[in-house]
Amino acid sequence: MGMSTLHRFLVAACTSLLALQILQAADPLRVFIRGGVKTHGPNQHDHPRFLGDWTKLLGERGIRVDGSMQFPTEAQLKASDVVIIYAADGMRIVGEERTRFENYLRRGGGLVVLHDGVVAGDQHEWAKKVQGGAWRWDGDKKTTWHEGEVGLYFVEPENPIVRGISNFDWKDEVYNRMDFAPDIDVLAVSFVDVFNIWPQIWTHQKTWEGGTTPYRAFVSLPGHEYDVFNTPHYRAILLRGIAWAGKRENIDEFCKPAELASLRYPAGGPKPAAEAVKTLQLHPEFQVTLAADENVAKKIMSLDWDPQGRLWVVETPEYPGGRDVNKNDFKAYWNWARDPKAFPVGGKQPRKPLDRISILTDTNGDGVMDRQSVFADGLELPTSLVFYKDGVIVSQAPDILWVRDTNGDGTADKVETLYTGWGTFDTHAVINNLRWGPDGWIYGAVGYTRGRVKSGDGSKDFGDIAAGIYRFRPDGSMLEQIAAGGCNTWGCEVAPDGEIVFTTATCGEPICHVVIPEKALARGQVGGLKSFLNIIEENKIYPAFAEKRQPYVQIDWVGAWTAAAGATIYDGGAWPEKWAPEDRYSFFMGEATRQLFHHEFLDPKGSTYQGRKETGRKETEFMASTDYWFRPIHSRVGPDGALYVVDFYNQIAVHNDTRGPAHGARNAAARPDRDHQFTRLWRIQHRDARPLPPYSLPAGDPAQLVKMLAHPNGWVRSTANRLLLEIQPKKVGSQLANLLKSNPSRFARIQAL
């Protein structure tokens, strides 16, 4: 083919494509609405109202609309691209009506079925064949329904009909135990208890017998309450479904911008941070502001600051199962069972892991992080990080990794395994909460997954490590147990004077203090004695609202601490003396299952401490929320003296559900409501916080680092300590001795040691 011929061919092809697009835009979609008589109570099953309202709405959107309270005639079907059925027993189509409807399907006509329109009476099998699922009336397999506050959970996020929509709750009705064809594409499910997860929105494509063109069926069960049709987010889904069934190229052709804008934060779903902050009930001495959200990161699980003061975060959108494939998860994600190559049972999804470590910055000075720089990606289920030399040490069971940037370009280029052998069975019981101690060791927590830990190269065996607290050398040379028997430990704090306080879940010991390390007990041959004491004032919580929905009620320790997470002693140097760690500790932790963030003073009591809630606030939490997506899991004190709270912002914070539903990958209960996108980082500062002196932490200036050991901010002191340990300077001995002898701060003197 010559160049001129090729040119003419390309011009003709482009012209034809453009003409086709113009023709489609000029040729309106033709829709027939099959209505029916009203049934049920006020504002329910109002089929005539839908016929009138949506005839007008679709017409205003450029669609040619016809409709009737009766089944369409042959002429009406020939003049339709999509038939919408919203009528009681709408799919009970028999006789001549069935004949002409099947002819309509044979030519590829589209179908949209809403709510009770799916019911087909005694024509169950035929209806199932047409729309991919049908109401069952037979015996113990009978379809059931539930009215009230229900949720929609979107399990196929890349499907264009539901792309961008978040899960939400509303007042409507769900159908359970319908009879489904195996080849439907499930877009959304619901569940009113943890044992029953059933499709509520799906699509079905097939070529009817004798036909040459496949038809498309879009089925959406919401619609018991008429109000659902007036919500902008559901209206967008329904309009997209109509466009898809009509084979329109632009799925959003009939949606208004406001409807599409409502998808990310639908009513009854996640709130934008500006609204979520209004639900936080905070101690009156403090104020809370946003530091970061899903606009700059996904599913923050842990954080720290580098010597320049930049915020680093661990992002774990893969939680809880990672890429692992367990057939029990098919109960929530129906489509996975149809694609064994993408979801091989007992194996891993063949894709790159999504977790990462990122650096977040605030470029405009408004206090909210707005720029992300990825330091390391391709991680899978990391939980924590600490800085070390040219990178970060990361807990990612079964390993503890040193993720390095050897050329200084800001991106990791080398990963070394320091330790391996940690358990991976249950991701909410793995290694977590790494902390530097003033002694040059890194401390961390582990839950009941435990570990048989070895050095990265396998040459050293450090033995069995039980649930509790451990510590290790950053060079991979040594690891040992500090406190064992800590149930499911998900919090570790090294106090400014070196004491260890940690949190545990589901065993009635939320706040624990290490009194005598395991090594000392072993050396003294003391048996039957724990290395730690539970020091909380009372094992009772005071949430901001009562939760009654079965999937979301608290389990295990109801009304008490089920999931204590994170552990922070305030040592920021900015808050008034009442909160300073001089005569006592101010201790903070989260309870993610009941949306609260807790504070206790830890008063000295002999060789240990005793927790005490603030006088006048015994039955009030430091911070609680009425937004059930609020899930505080971690906290740290920053270089600015503020307290930062990691909010995993998720519908659910239940991992191992002891009520007995099926459990899937990494022992997480099979549920459709685990969000993998949203995140919040809240900054809490005292209203009378005092400004801190500036800090400077140059790794090449040991004398300056020694000065920083006396800074009022604990993060500054510990970072200076770490940098000194890394560079091992030989000319600061006299400076350290002088600090040790003369500095009035005992915490500075401890760091000097």
Cβ contact 587:568 at 8 Å: yes
Residue 668 pLDDT: 94
Token pair 């800074």 in the structure block, residue: 711
Q: Burial letters for 676-696: b for 16+ Cβ neighbours within 10 Å, e otherwise?
A: eebbbbbbbbbeebeebeebe
| Contacts (Cβ under 8 Å, ≥6 apart) of 200 | 152, 174, 175, 188, 189, 190, 220, 221, 222
Residue 8 pLDDT: 52
Which run of H or of E encompasses 105? helix 95-106
Which residues on neighbouring strands pair with residue 446, listed in sequence order?
Answer: 468
pLDDT tops 70 at residue 22: no
Cβ contact 185:155 at 8 Å: no
In three-state secondary structure terms, 70 is coil
* Residue 235 or 700, more confident: 235
pLDDT tens digits, one per residue of 573-630: 999 999 988 889 999 999 999 999 999 999 999 999 999 999 999 999 999 999 999 9
Cβ contact 165:266 at 8 Å: yes
In three-state secondary structure terms, 93 is coil
Q: What is the CA radius of gyration of the chain?
A: 30
> Cα–Cα distance between 534 and 167 in angstroms, integer?
39
pLDDT tops 70 at residue 368: yes
How much is the average pLDDT of 249-273?
Answer: 98
**Across all residues in the chain, what is the average pLDDT?**
94
Q: How many CB atoms lie within 10 A of CB 374?
A: 14
> Cα–Cα distance between 275 and 281 in angstroms, integer?
13
In three-state secondary structure terms, 161 is coil
Instruction: Specify the range with the lowest mean pLDDT, choosing from 136-150, 320-334, 405-419, 473-487.
Output: 136-150
How much is the average pLDDT of 361-382?
Answer: 98
Instruction: Specify the range with the lowest mean pLDDT, choosing from 38-42, 554-558, 746-750.
Output: 746-750
Residue 747 pLDDT: 81
> How much of the chain is helix, strand and coil, in % rounded to 5?
20, 30, 45
How much is the average pLDDT of 171-190?
Answer: 96
How much is the average pLDDT of 438-466?
Answer: 96
How much is the average pLDDT of 169-197?
Answer: 95
Q: How many CA atoms lie within 13 A of 231 on its CB side?
A: 23
pLDDT tens digits, one per residue of 529-554: 899 999 999 999 999 999 998 999 99
| Contacts (Cβ under 8 Å, ≥6 apart) of 736 | 706, 752
> Cα–Cα distance between 377 and 398 in angstroms, integer?
17
> Cα–Cα distance between 141 and 627 in angstroms, integer?
37
Residue 29 pLDDT: 98
Report residue 424: phi and psi, to 5°: -130, 0
> Cα–Cα distance between 363 and 268 in angstroms, integer?
32
* Residue 665 or 555, more confident: 665
> Whole-model pTM?
0.94
Which tokens belong to 392? 């970060």
> Cα–Cα distance between 665 and 428 in angstroms, integer?
12
In three-state secondary structure terms, 440 is coil
Q: Would you give the DSSP letter of residue 2?
A: -
Cβ contact 349:342 at 8 Å: yes
> Cα–Cα distance between 692 and 640 in angstroms, integer?
7
How much is the average pLDDT of 142-149?
Answer: 94
> Cα–Cα distance between 617 and 59 in angstroms, integer?
59
How much is the average pLDDT of 283-296?
Answer: 98
Residue 26 pLDDT: 61
pLDDT tops 80 at residue 711: yes
How much is the average pLDDT of 691-701?
Answer: 95
Q: How confident is the model at residue 229 (pLDDT cuts 50, 70, 90)?
A: very high
pLDDT tops 50 at residue 642: yes
Token pair 């560079």 in the structure block, residue: 727
> Cα–Cα distance between 499 and 490 in angstroms, integer?
17
Indicate the pairing of strand 532-534 with strand 564-569. unpaired
Q: How far is CA 714 from the centre of its chain?
A: 30
Residue 10 pLDDT: 44
pLDDT tens digits, one per residue of 491-523: 999 999 999 999 999 888 999 999 999 999 989
pLDDT tops 70 at residue 19: no
Q: How confident is the model at residue 135 (pLDDT cuts 50, 70, 90)?
A: very high
Farthest CA pair distance, the chain: 101
How much is the average pLDDT of 430-452?
Answer: 96
* Residue 732 or 380, more confident: 380
Cβ contact 342:367 at 8 Å: no
Residue 573 pLDDT: 97
Cα angle 283, 285, 287 (rounded to 5 degrees) comes to: 75
pLDDT tops 60 at residue 141: yes
Residue 485 pLDDT: 87
pLDDT tops 80 at residue 20: no
Q: How confident is the model at residue 7 (pLDDT cuts 50, 70, 90)?
A: low
pLDDT above 90 covers a percentage of the chain that reads: 87
How much is the average pLDDT of 636-641?
Answer: 98
Q: Is the peptide bond before 661 cis (omega within 30 degrees of 0)?
A: no
